[in-house]
Amino acid sequence: MKTDFAVQVFGKADCDKCAVLNQRLDKLLEKDEWSGFAKVYMDVESIDGLIAFSEAECINPQRIPAMLISCRNEETGEFELMPNPTIGKNDALYKKSKLYQHLGLQTDYSDGGVISPKMIKTCLAEAKGCL
């Protein structure tokens, strides 16, 4: 199966909200509709996870868990971060959870700290719409 998109999930051990985001994303990605997506979990308390988190340069470390969507470049075969197609637009669904520069989500603890299944699904759909 060809994977067109990678969803990097940034979390850490013993984080209930990280576990919930992983479970919600896993459940969605089991459906045929999202077969072009693959999840890559990055533990920010590991060296590899911390490096990936630092290289992303767009997630607030106090707003973990977070997810970031990349798309495979057909020429190079490498995954590249996708730009946020709606930079600067306020959204009733995402509120303050959507990343500004790149396509992805981070936890907004000022509003309950929940990344809902609907937010995840809508973000994945935006990625598909960008191709």
**Residue from 77, 86, 73, 69 nearest 128 by CA:** 69
Q: pTM to 2 decimals?
A: 0.90
According to the model, what pLDDT value does residue 20 have? 95
CATH number at residue 97: 3.40.30.10
Which pLDDT belongs to residue 130?
66
Domain coverage including residue 66: 5-130
pLDDT, block means (10 residues), the chain with 131 residues: 87 94 96 94 95 91 94 91 83 87 92 90 90 50
Q: How many domains does the chain have?
A: 1
Q: Which of 46, 127, 51 is nearest to 86 (CA)?
A: 127
Say what the pLDDT of residue 4 is: 92
Is-contact 61 54, C-beta < 8 A? Answer: no
**Which pLDDT belongs to residue 116?**
94
